[in-house]
Structure 1
Amino acid sequence: MAAERFGRWRARSEAFLDTCLPDAATAPQRLHAAMRHAATGGGKRMRPLLVYAAGHLLGAEEALLDAPAAAVELIHAYSLVHDDLPAMDDDALRRGQPTVHIAFDEATAILAGDALQTRAFEVLADSPAPDALRVAWLRTLARASGAAGMCGGQALDIDATGRQQSLQQLTAMHELKTGALIRASVRMGALAGGADTATLARLDGFAAALGLAFQVRDDILDIEADSAQLGKTAGKDAAQNKSTFPALLGMDGARAHLATLSEQMHAALAGEGDAAAPLAALARLAVERGH
């Protein structure tokens, strides 16, 4: 049931995302081709799925969820393009294909990331949603993307490269770098369904645990999986002497922490009924992926 629903939502998200991207045959062709290379080259589409799943929980129409699902994926795609640049993580592989600065060039990659980011907010502004909802979406995504969210987390990550962080510092960094956009995905879907303050708070707790669980599992896979499985270069964290959950807690400790986060997600959804099944299934995917 979940796999069928996720397949349908992915297809819906892919189709709408395609309409949001410029035609690679139109000028400037190189920039447009790079944008498409970054945004349509596969991926789990976890963040769009979270938008649809949270909206499903609150009874939102799927057509209303298309714009926020695409917008959050555009922000995610831009972040990966810039994260892979030589001045950042300097990676040559992403989603099993050459990163944008390798496939094109560094200047084009910077511009493609910029264009994907701004396109995300244009998509939300142009959506047919009520004005108040569009403003709420724009505020949510902007905050999650900037210095108080993903970009701030990336800055903390750069500052910490080559030195060991405490568990508290590592957690705070990933709450911004990885978690902020995941929390925004859930919140935008819930806002589309008219969630009240109490429901938004419960779902934010779920999303916060999910964001950390996703990162803990990512850290484990960086050690256990190879580049073909990951779709990106394996072992980069250790090579760059970065703090990770396994480095601080050990592999057994990291797995135990992952189990605790899984329990927190389950507790946050308790009482929500069958409509929460897609969110619960995405929580399991985050915890179990790569097995």
Structure 2
Amino acid sequence: MSLIASSIPIHTSISNKLVINPRRPPVLARAAFDFTRYMEEKAARVERALEASVPLREPRLVHEAMRYSLLAGGKRVRPILCIAACELVGGPERAAMPSACAVEMVHTMSLMHDDLPCMDGDDLRRGRPSSHRAFSESVAVLAGDALLSLSFEHVASATLGVSPDRVVRAIAELGRSIGSEGLVGGQVADISSEGVSGVGPERLEYIHVHKTAALLEAAAVMGAIVGGAGDEAVERLRRFARRVGLLFQVVDDILDVTRSSEELGKTAGKDVAADKATYPKLLGLEKSMELAEELKREAYAQMAWFDEDKAAPLIALANYIAYRNN
């Protein structure tokens, strides 16, 4: 059954922000966990690893473009999710870092290509000119391609202390999340749905399971694989990340119609202007917020199987995605 079509528990909304119904306290809430510090520390280490992964060398122009977009900041949700999943199952951060960087390379590539005039045509990304505006369309395409190919090379060459079969499984997971049954498939479905009347819940869910959730799912699953997880743990993390991925998109759609370009660091309202299928357009703002709350609860439920303390970063990450402002 589609998650959109499922029953949605009551919640309260104030100023366009989700507020959990006080009669239903959040599952596994961990007030003692310092999520801000955790994110800052992990993001700093991810930044250093990303910086080292793309040195400035010849041909200089394409490497400048790769670094311009890859090192432009951002929340680094995907690499941190990868690392948190690895540590949840008992693996060390160093085992997951190459996969974490690879996922961020792919995500950056997708943004560079998504911003192109032939796609969404967005001139602003992460608060500054998009890659094709800072360089050129041709360089943006090629730099994105270079990041994509580097992502696979990086997992294969930089993952140390992990068995070869697990490295191969991680690479296969990454490839599956990107291709025609993953990110690309979702993007094609998204483009073909622009301006089309009658796009229903199942079609919209298909778009975002593939376009957005697939890469978040790959991040968590890759982390679990290189961390040494068994099949049950991998599949629970897969289900958790898929819901978090849909949650990310629902919140993104909400923010697109409730926040300014300055607040978002990208052009606000572009989905409405392009007549895209979005959750607020299909369900309305209030129901979209209720759906986000339901997805968050379902993600929490998958974490109940794991050690409570080790699961705290992932629970907090889901909460962060639900309540973020940009």
Alignment TM-score, normalising by the size of structure 2: 0.87
Q: Give 1 or 2: higher helix fraction.
A: 1
Structure 1 unmatched ranges of 5 or more: none
- For residues 122-133 of structure 1, what are the structure 2 equivalents within 5 Å? 122-127=153-158, 128=160, 129-133=162-166
What is the match of residue 132 of structure 2?
Answer: 101
- The answer to whether 1:79 aligns with 2:93 is no
Deviation at 1:22, TM superposition (A): 2.9
Q: Percent sequence identity over matched residues?
A: 42
- The answer to whether 1:247 aligns with 2:281 is yes
After the TM superposition, which parts of structure 1 deviate over 3 Å for at least 4 consecutive aligned residues? Answer: none
Q: Which moved more, 1:192-201 or 1:117-126?
A: 192-201
Partners of 2:58 and 2:299 lie apart in 1 by 46
What is the match of residue 116 of structure 1?
Answer: 147
Partners of 1:43 and 1:193 lie apart in 2 by 25
Deviation at 1:262, TM superposition (A): 1.0
What is the match of residue 154 of structure 1?
Answer: 187
Structure 2 unmatched ranges of 5 or more: 1-33
Deviation at 1:130, TM superposition (A): 2.2
Equivalent residues of 2:96, 2:227 under 8 A apart = no
Residue 100 of structure 2, aligned match among 52, 69, 73:
69
The residue identity in structure 2 corresponding to 1:49 is I
Q: Deviation digits for residues 39-61 of structure 1, max 9, x if unmatched?
A: 00011100001011111111111
**Residue aligned with 1:256, SS:** helix
The residue identity in structure 1 corresponding to 2:170 is W
Deviation at 1:27, TM superposition (A): 2.3
Number of aligned residues: 289
Residue 139 of structure 1, aligned match among 172, 176, 183:
172
The residue identity in structure 1 corresponding to 2:321 is A
What is the match of residue 261 of structure 1?
Answer: 295
Cα RMSD (Å): 1.0
Partners of 1:55 and 1:81 lie apart in 2 by 28
What is the match of residue 55 of structure 1?
Answer: 86
What is the match of residue 203 of structure 1?
Answer: 237
Residue 319 of structure 2, aligned match among 284, 287, 290:
284
The residue identity in structure 1 corresponding to 2:275 is N
Q: Deviation digits for residues 68-109 of structure 1, max 9, x if unmatched?
A: 010000000111100100100000000001000000001100
Q: Deviation digits for residues 114-154 of structure 1, max 9, x if unmatched?
A: 00000100101102232112101110000001111001101
What is the match of residue 223 of structure 2?
Answer: 189
What is the match of residue 256 of structure 2?
Answer: 222
